[in-house]
Amino acid sequence: MRKARAVLVSAVVVLGASVMIGATPAHAADKLSGVFRTSAECERIGAHGVAQDWWDDYSCVWEGRYRYYFLYA
């Protein structure tokens, strides 16, 4: 019984560690492409970047602690 419990506990720990290693932040694959005071300015530059083929997609994210919009592309 002790061996089975030890194997089960170590399997759970390894599985939990692998799940945590695989977890990434939302913008891990995206590059920070600009910081803006207004949402409109961020959206304008993001759309301009798509039109110029600088990037395929973008997102403007409000960061309340900094009070700016961050453009990720």
Segment 31-55, tens digit of pLDDT = 999 999 999 999 999 999 999 999 9
Answer whether residue 10 shows pLDDT above 60.
no
Beta bridge partners of 70: 35, 61
User: Is residue 57 a part of any domain in this protein?
Assistant: yes
Residue 6 identity (one-letter amino acid) = A
Residue 15 lies in a domain: no
65 belongs to a structural domain: yes
| pTM of the complete model beyond 0.75 | no
Q: Is 46 a member of any domain?
A: yes
Tally the domains of the chain: 1
1 lies in some domain: no
CA distance 33 to 31: 6
Torsions phi, psi for 23 (to 5 deg): -75, 130
* CA separation, residue 52 to residues 5, 15, 45, 47 (Å): 59, 44, 10, 9
Mean pLDDT of the chain: 77
User: Which structural domain range is residue 57 located in?
Assistant: 32-72
